[in-house]
């Protein structure tokens, strides 16, 4: 028998359907681009294939997962403080690997400031995560810990963000294409530079998401960082004992970025830029300095 009552159709808001970790990966990570770029830079520098790396601040381990998938001899360790984020990575990224690939990946819930015994060829720390260390002594301690876990000739690669716009309080919105059948569709990623103190260079940055049905997720991720300059990061890497500390600057094509990077002696006074800082655990035998 019909009740005669109209059943209300409840339609979930896109913000309720969306998974912040998935949105984050779609917005700011591209391991399928980063893994071959970093592996190829390592091989070009050392003459050795990259087979063993550590991803610090690995979060959902997108980079480490992609790396073990890239070659049957690749092994990776990912370290992150946050067990819930690691668990998301296990469920959504690691689970897609074969059993053999999973055996070659170790995820550690731990602090990158602590000693970690495994010796690796390369440590990578992406999306500016080391900026969580807001004083020189702690950043140096982190670099010393990284160096202690690198093999001789091993490499540290960090990304860094700067330019005069990095000190401006602003929200920058970008449309992210999302072809997945997840009920969310294309969405807007918003990078919110919410606070910057010129006395300390401490900054607060936030990530928000906006959806086509006008629902939003505010403060999906919030970072209390120090906006280290490239000069400071390279000085502290040298203080921590790294050799041949240098940086990779984005190549330009008629003044637009190309998303490809090469070793440079000087940067450009761009309004906003991303670069990579690189340090070597010891001189690579037979390699001429400054190549
Ligand atoms: C900005 S997210 C970066 C995630 C990922 N690396 C990426 O490229 O997008 C920063 C991550 O660093 C982790 N983290 C912060 N301090 C840490 C520490 N001292 N040791 C290990 N992980 C840390 C957080 O839990 C978080 O997952």
The predicted-structure confidence for 123-173, as pLDDT tens digits, reads as follows 999 999 999 999 999 999 999 999 999 999 999 999 999 999 999 999 999
Quick one: which atom of ligand 1 is closest to the CA of 25? Answer: 9
| CB half-sphere exposure, 151, CA atoms < 13 A | 14
**Number of helical (H) and strand (E) elements in the chain, helices listed first:** 8, 12
Distance 223 CA to ligand 1 centre (A): 10
pTM: 0.93
Ranges under pLDDT 50 in the chain = 1-4, 288-291
CB-count burial class (<10 Å; 0-12, 13-18, 19+) for 284:
buried
- 138 in ligand 1 pocket by Cβ < 6 Å? no
Q: Are strands 120-125 and 150-162 parallel, antiparallel or unpaired?
A: parallel
Q: What is the reported pLDDT for 257? A: 73
Quick one: which atom of ligand 1 is closest to the CA of 127? Answer: 8
Quick one: which atom of ligand 1 is closest to the CA of 82? Answer: 25
Q: How many degrees, rounded to 5, is the angle at CA 229 between CA 226 and CA 234?
A: 115
Distance 110 CA to ligand 1 centre (A): 10
Shortest CA distance to 86 belongs to which of 65, 70, 103, 101?
65
Give 70's contacts (C-beta < 8 A, 6+ positions apart).
35, 36, 39
For residue 26, count other CB atoms closer than 10 A to its CB. 19
Locate 147 and state its tokens. 């160096």
Distance 146 CA to ligand 1 centre (A): 15
Q: Give the distance from CA 66 to its chain's centroid.
A: 13
Q: Give the distance from CA 218 to its chain's centroid.
A: 21
Across the beta sheet with 105-109, what order do the strands follow?
105-109, 75-80, 52-56, 120-125, 150-162, 273-280, 243-253, 256-264
Question: CA distances (Å), 21 to each of 91, 247, 291, in order?
Answer: 12, 30, 39
- 58 in ligand 1 pocket by Cβ < 6 Å? yes
Residues in the chain: 291
Q: Which of 59, 108, 224 has most ligand 1 atoms within 8 Å of CB, for mutation?
A: 59
As a whole number of angstroms, the distance between CA 194 and CA 213 comes to 25
Q: Which of 80, 93, 112, 114 has most ligand 1 atoms within 8 Å of CB, for mutation?
A: 80
Q: What is the reported pLDDT for 2? A: 45
Place of tokens 């480490």: 64
Distance 18 CA to ligand 1 centre (A): 21
Alpha helices per DSSP H over the chain: 14-17, 20-28, 31-46, 62-70, 83-92, 99-103, 136-148, 230-239
Q: What is the DSSP letter of 166?
A: G
Q: What is the reported pLDDT for 228? A: 98
Alpha helices per DSSP H over 128-243: 136-148, 230-239
Locate 94 and state its tokens. 């690691």
CB-count burial class (<10 Å; 0-12, 13-18, 19+) for 231:
exposed
> Residues 168, 176: contact at Cβ < 8 Å?
no
Place of tokens 């359907």: 17
Locate 258 and state its tokens. 């190309």
Q: What is the reported pLDDT for 290? A: 42
């Amino acid at each position: 028998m019909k009740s005669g009552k109209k059943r209300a159709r409840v339609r979930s808001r896109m913000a309720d359907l969306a998974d912040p970790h998935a949105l984050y990966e779609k917005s700011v990570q591209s391991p399928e681009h980063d893994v071959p770029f970093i592996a190829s830079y390592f091989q070009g520098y050392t003459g050795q294939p990259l087979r063993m790396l550590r991803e610090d601040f690995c979060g959902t381990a997108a980079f480490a997962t992609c790396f073990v998938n890239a070659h049957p001899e690749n092994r990776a360790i990912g370290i992150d403080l946050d067990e819930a984020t690691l668990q998301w990575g296990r469920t959504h990224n690691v689970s897609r690997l074969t059993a053999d690939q999973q055996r070659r990946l170790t995820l550690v819930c731990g602090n990158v400031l602590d000693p970690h015994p495994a010796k690796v060829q390369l440590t990578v720390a992406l999306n500016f995560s080391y900026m969580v260390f807001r004083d020189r002594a702690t950043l140096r301690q982190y670099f010393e810990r990284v160096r202690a876990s690198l093999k001789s000739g091993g490499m540290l690669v960090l990304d860094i963000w700067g330019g005069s716009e990095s000190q401006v309080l602003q929200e920058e919105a970008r449309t992210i294409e999302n072809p997945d059948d997840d009920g969310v569709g294309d969405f807007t990623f918003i990078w919110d530079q919410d606070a910057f103190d010129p006395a300390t260079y401490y900054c607060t940055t936030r990530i928000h998401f906006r959806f086509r049905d006008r629902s939003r997720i505010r403060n999906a991720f919030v970072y209390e960082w120090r906006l280290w300059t490239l000069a400071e990061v390279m000085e502290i890497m040298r203080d921590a004992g790294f050799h041949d500390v240098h940086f990779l600057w984005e190549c330009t094509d008629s003044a637009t970025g190309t998303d490809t990077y090469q070793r440079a002696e000087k940067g450009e006074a761009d309004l906003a830029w991303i670069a990579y800082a690189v340090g070597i655990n010891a001189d690579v035998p037979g390699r001429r300095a400054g190549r």
